[in-house]
Amino acid sequence: MQQKEFIAMVMPFKDKLYRMAKRLLVSREEAEDATQEILLKLWSKNESMGQYKSVEAFAMTMTKNFCLDRLKSKQAGNLKLVHSNYKDETVSVQRQLEAEDSVGWVERIMEELPEQQKMVLQLRDVEDYDYDEIAQMLDMKPTAVRVTLSRARKTVREKLQQKHSYGIG
């Protein structure tokens, strides 16, 4: 495969790889490094890319595995999930602060979810993958993806309701 063909195939989902890495790793720099590593690995496999049903799903799986390995490694003792900033210039400052606070709470609640629920929630609700794609990436059955997503959403909803009912606590 020529470089131009490879770039045309990989670049449309490069940002998704980065967002997945950022969701799993602590910093922008770590996520950028991880994305770079995945792109290099994909390039090294570019001759065999045709064998994959979905190169994007394969790349997302590689990203997930690479980041989880980083999190498990000794050098990753200080890595954790971080949130991306939510900005909407069309709303009032108060509404923007409320939205950022809510996003912050959702991010903090997501940090507490079990790893699999975190991944499924990220892939479905943030990256907008369908159930079959998520099942392929995470080596799960589509039914298990639905159940995991439902549990994750329920936990987030309950903890948000608890926060709004009882205040910060």
Residues 82-97 have pLDDT tens digits of 444 444 444 466 666 6
Supply the DSSP symbol for 150.
Answer: H
Q: Residue 129, exposed/middle/buried by CB under 10 A (0-12, 13-18, 19+)? A: buried
Which of 54, 82, 110 marks a domain boundary? 82
- 71 & 104 share domain: no
Reported as a single tens digit per residue, the pLDDT across 101-158 is 667 777 788 888 898 998 898 888 878 888 998 999 899 999 999 999 999 999 988 8
Instruction: Show the tokens assigned to 130.
Output: 């369908």
pLDDT of 166 over the 70 cut: no
- 99 & 162 share domain: yes
- 106 & 168 share domain: yes
Q: How many CB atoms lie within 10 A of CB 28?
A: 13
The structural domain count of the chain equals: 2
- For 6, residues 6+ apart whose C-beta sits below 8 A from its C-beta are 42, 43, 46, 49
**pTM greater than 0.95:** no
Which of 82, 104, 138 marks a domain boundary? 82
Confidence of residue 76 (pLDDT cuts 50, 70, 90): very low
Whole-angstrom distance, CA of residue 58 vs CA of residue 42? 9
